[in-house]
């Protein structure tokens, strides 16, 4: 049996790249797919691919960055398929520059699409699912957010993107803690694949090979996303998965390290040795990409 039979999923930024791969993979596992993309023609093309393969899809170009737009997307999904069970927050943009060269517009545009875009649909659907749970209905819902290796470890020349993606990883923790009581799980993904963004930033690295396993194919990442959207993942929440090619891992985030307790107030001059010892005893952080 297909693992997402009769479930409905909204996927943002689904007109190409990873979003397109997710749409095709969810449909192959029986899901109804709402293909959301700011470019309606791209959304329609992916929806047509899904239908040509025997699946069910709705193309949608609604605004993910406003509550009004998010509600309209959800309403369209409900009209077409009756219910929504899964949200995949995938849409994103880049405005890459070294930190001191960033403009306010570079910063605000990235925050709007990534952070506000992750907020609006999750808020609208979360309230719907909460109300259903309080009314005694069984809810088995999923929110799948998109962070990035850049958001987890940092990346030179991408401080706005890094800040947004790091915020999404932290947001996932709080959403999972707050929404679990209503039958909603929340996880995030840090994917590595060939997309318009990675082709622009590192074209030689992500280039499709002439033969052999295509490590950067977006379809490689789709399996974990579909699993997270299925009933099989009901016991997993508040986690960040990294996926690339045939690799999959669960990120280990910030946690309290070794402690020195003087049981009194520290003098500033005392702290040099203490900090040096704490750093030497801890696990070294991964290097920032590009450093």
Rounded to the nearest integer, the mean pLDDT of the chain is: 95
CA distance 288 to 291: 6
- Return the axis-axis angle of helices 17-28 and 219-229, rounded to nearest 10°: 50
* pLDDT reading at 204 higher than 90: no
Domain count, the chain: 1
> In angstroms, how far is the first alpha carbon of the chain from the final one?
47
Residue 148 a catalytic site member: yes
- pLDDT, one tens digit per residue, over 119-166 is 999 999 999 999 999 999 999 999 999 999 999 999 999 999 999 999
Provide the domain limits for residue 171.
Answer: 8-250
Q: Is residue 53 included in any domain, yes or no? A: yes
Provide the pLDDT for residue 53: 97
Provide the pLDDT for residue 289: 86
The kind and range of the H/E element at 25 are helix 17-28
Provide the pLDDT for residue 154: 92
C-alpha closest to that of 128 among 86, 163, 173, 69: 86
* pLDDT reading at 200 higher than 80: no
Which of these is catalytic: 155, 165, 230, 233? 165
Sign of CA dihedral 80, 81, 84, 88: negative
For residue 91, what is the domain's CATH number?
3.40.50.720
Q: Is residue 113 included in any domain, yes or no? A: yes
- pLDDT, one tens digit per residue, over 221-250 is 999 999 999 999 999 999 999 999 999 999
* pLDDT reading at 202 higher than 80: no
Taking residues 46-60, what's their average pLDDT?
Answer: 98
Least confident range from 105-119, 135-149, 207-221: namely 207-221
CA distance 229 to 143: 8
Least confident range from 192-196, 213-217, 222-226, 275-279: namely 192-196
Q: Is residue 246 included in any domain, yes or no? A: yes
Q: Is the overall model pTM greater than 0.85, yes or no?
A: yes
**At 198, is the secondary structure helix, strand, or coil?**
helix
Which of these is catalytic: 161, 230, 233, 237? 161
C-alpha closest to that of 185 among 198, 173, 201: 173
Residue 217 structure tokens: 């194919």
Which of these is catalytic: 148, 155, 159, 233? 148
CA distance 192 to 217: 9
Q: Is residue 211 included in any domain, yes or no? A: yes
Q: Is residue 275 included in any domain, yes or no? A: no
Q: Is residue 267 included in any domain, yes or no? A: no
Band of residue 114 on the pLDDT scale cut at 50, 70, 90: very high
Provide the pLDDT for residue 14: 98
What phi and psi, each to the nearest 5 degrees, are found at residue 240? -120, 120
Band of residue 205 on the pLDDT scale cut at 50, 70, 90: confident
Provide the pLDDT for residue 130: 98
CA distance 127 to 146: 21
Provide the pLDDT for residue 196: 75
Q: Is residue 126 included in any domain, yes or no? A: yes
| % pLDDT > 70, the chain | 99
Residue 165 a catalytic site member: yes
Provide the pLDDT for residue 219: 96
Residue 182 a catalytic site member: no
| Residue with the larger pLDDT of the pair 135 and 289 | 135
Q: Is residue 262 included in any domain, yes or no? A: no
Burial class (CB in 10 A: 0-12, 13-18, 19+), 58: buried
């Amino acid at each position: 049996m297909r693992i997402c039979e009769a479930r409905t999923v909204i996927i943002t930024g689904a007109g190409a790249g990873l979003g397109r791969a997710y749409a095709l993979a969810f449909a192959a596992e029986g899901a109804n797919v709402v293909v959301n993309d700011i470019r309606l023609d791209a959304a329609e093309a992916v929806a047509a691919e899904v239908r040509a393969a025997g699946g069910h899809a709705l193309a949608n170009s609604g605004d993910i960055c406003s509550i009004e737009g998010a509600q309209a997307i959800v309403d369209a999904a409900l009209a077409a398929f009756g219910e929504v069970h899964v949200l995949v927050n995938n849409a994103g943009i880049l405005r890459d520059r070294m930190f001191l060269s960033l403009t306010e517009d570079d910063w605000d545009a990235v925050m709007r699409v990534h952070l506000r875009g992750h907020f609006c649909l999750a808020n609208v659907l979360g309230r719907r699912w909460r109300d259903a749970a309080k009314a005694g209905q069984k809810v088995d819902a999923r929110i799948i957010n998109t962070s990035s290796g850049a958001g987890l470890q940092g990346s030179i020349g991408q401080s706005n993107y890094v800040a947004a993606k790091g915020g999404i990883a932290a947001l996932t923790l709080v959403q999972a803690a707050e929404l679990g009581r209503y039958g909603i799980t929340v996880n995030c993904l840090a994917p590595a694949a060939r997309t318009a963004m990675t082709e622009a930033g590192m074209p030689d690295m992500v280039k499709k090979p002439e033969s052999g396993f295509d490590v950067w194919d977006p379809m490689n990442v789709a399996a974990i996303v579909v699993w997270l959207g299925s009933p099989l993942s009901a016991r997993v929440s508040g986690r960040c998965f990294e996926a690339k090619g045939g690799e999959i891992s669960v990120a280990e985030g910030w946690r309290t390290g070794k402690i020195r307790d003087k049981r009194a107030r520290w003098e500033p001059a005392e702290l040099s040795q203490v900090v040096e010892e704490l750093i030497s005893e801890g696990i070294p952080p991964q290097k920032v990409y590009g450093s």
